[in-house]
Amino acid sequence: MNPFKTVTTVCCMALMGAILAPTARADAWNRKTVITFSGPVEIPGVHLRGWGVLPAGTYVFKILDSQSDRHIVQIFNQDETMVYATILAIPNYRLKATDKTVITFRERPAGQPEALRAWFYPGRNWGEEFVYPKAHAVALAKETNTPVLFMAAEIPMEVATPIRSADEPVVMELKRAPIMAIQPSGEEVQLAVVVTPPPAAELEATSERTEVARLTLPATSSPLPMIALFGLLALGGAFAVRAAARRLE
């Protein structure tokens, strides 16, 4: 077979790969999830002033910060230009769902918005259970007849400007806040009474996969430029081989 034709064929395949390769995304590290609510939803956490209840619409959920025993979740508008809420969540193994994205709510009396309870990211059989301010948790526990997690600390629940960084003071307070649970009877109990954390090995494996995805492939990166570069280099090499062959003839 003609060497030049062989090299040219390889180059063409490389360039076709550059054209056809799908854009790589690394959303797994922040678990970006697009959610559409058909009705108003009450949310916990630190939210923008006047946004304690989200109207029906499409929102984006993301992990801002992930620790072994608690996570900080943010809710954005659809185009991710505004952060409506920054919420403390606890991994709870008792909350089991399918391998699809699932949002669960605490059912409220007629005429009241449903209250956000948990978020399941695909591939995990445990949910992120959201933590409410104490006074609100007491009311929800009675209304829904289920235990509700609450922060045993006074943290302002409204902010005038969106929270953008995991290092902001209010986020640091969320990370340190003691967490307990309130029973429908009004009894305060330790977190371990109502929450079963996922097995340590599973949490560690998830954390490692998340860190690898975050470090190796940012969400905005794409392999196309690198593939194209290799294709062009190979094509240049093909012409160099052809020129050398002609000189030897």
What pLDDT, in 10s, does the model give residues 3-36? 444 444 434 333 333 333 333 233 667 899 999 9
Instruction: List helix spans (H) across the chain.
Output: 3-20, 134-144, 169-176, 191-194, 200-216, 224-248
Higher pLDDT, 23 or 228: 228
Residues 59, 141, 203, 46, CA torsion sign: positive
State residue 218's pLDDT score.
40
Pick from 31, 237, 44: which is nearest to 148 by CA? 44
N- to C-terminal Cα distance for the chain? 17
d(CA 193, CA 195): 6
Give mean pLDDT, residues 172-177: 93
Higher pLDDT, 147 or 11: 147
Domain ranges of the chain: 3-22+225-248, 27-216
Determine the Cα angle at 60 with ends 57 and 64, to 5°: 145
d(CA 151, CA 170): 13
With a CB cutoff of 8 Å and minimum separation 6, the contacts of 16 are none
State residue 64's pLDDT score.
93
d(CA 80, CA 133): 26
Full-prediction pTM beyond 0.85? Answer: no
State residue 12's pLDDT score.
39
State residue 7's pLDDT score.
41
State residue 126's pLDDT score.
86
What pLDDT, in 10s, does the model give residues 77-130? 999 999 999 999 999 988 887 778 899 998 888 888 999 999 998 878 888 999
State residue 5's pLDDT score.
46
